[in-house]
Amino acid sequence: MSQSTHNQYPELNGKVAVITGAGRHEGLGEAMAKRLASEGCKVVITDIGQAQGAHMPKSAIGTSDEMQQIVAEIKAAGGEAASFVCNVLDAEQVKAAAQFAVDTYGSLDIWVNNAGIGYLMKPILEMDVEEWDSVLNVNLRGTFYGIKFAAEQMVKLGNGGKIINIGSQASKSAFAHASAYTTSKHGMNGLTRTAALELGSEKINVNQICPNHVTTGLGAWQNAHFSDVTGKGHEKYMEEMRNRIPLGRPGLQEDIAKACAFLCSDQASYITGETMNVSGGEEYH
């Protein structure tokens, strides 16, 4: 994704944002980080940094080197950025990431819970408990830690803040062969709404973005995987996807980045507890 200066939301200039799971090129995290940086935010890119076990292979995570590359790209485009290795399953690392933002840039105004597992897709009868736990733990426990420790800093600083959780169309509708993923994203709805209720008095808005399919690096894997398991082949699978989306195309990284910037802006100051579809009309509830 190329970065340019937007300045659509001048109130974001100088705000400090942490984006988890943002260390991969062509990912939603990268797109959101670069969009917020283009609005003048000082961004902290976090990711796990290195492969950890069979369920978090190198092909699915942001490495330390790739994180540094994305930081360098943001700086080359005139933005401010830093990186911080953070496994969202480790409470102390998530807490340290929030502290790092404050220590480095003097504040913490925006936290985006983007880290997640969207590649352990099996039928219920074939999924083992370790795979189930990996998806639920990263997607839900990791989001809980992000909300908790970001909010702690925001309350301490006393300036309010914006917390954005990245859900999915699977937050609203079920999908075969994706029981753990669908369950985790449905659970995020309740977590988002409860956090919004609890943190509203601290002037912290908590919202969720629910994309339909976006062909990120992970999305390309999902396309190949579901083309195979449905027996339709890639061309037919993608044609059917386009046909069921009223706007006629899958989502782009930029679509989600635009929604994130809006929800972080003052234009969304009276919006909290929402699970906002960004799906070209495919998902409407």
List active site positions. 181, 185
Which string of DSSP letters, residue by residue, matches 186-226?
HHHHHHHHHHHHHHGGGTEEEEEEEE--B-SHHHHHHHHHH
Q: Mutual orientation of helices 253-264 and 28-38 as an angle, nearest 10°?
A: 50
Please, are residues 44 and 81 in contact by the beta-carbon 8 Å criterion? yes
Residue 156's Cβ-side half-sphere holds a number of Cα atoms within 13 Å equal to 12
Cβ partners under 8 Å of residue 90, min gap 6: none
Structure tokens at 92: 């102390």
Residue with tokens 């027996």: 231
Provide the CA 109 distance to its chain's centre, in angstroms. 16
Residue 226, number of CB atoms within 10 A of its CB: 19
Please, are residues 134 and 156 in contact by the beta-carbon 8 Å criterion? no
CA pair distance 87, 117, nearest whole angstrom? 12
Task: Name the nearest CA neighbour of 189 among 133, 140, 227.
Answer: 140
Please, are residues 43 and 33 in contact by the beta-carbon 8 Å criterion? yes
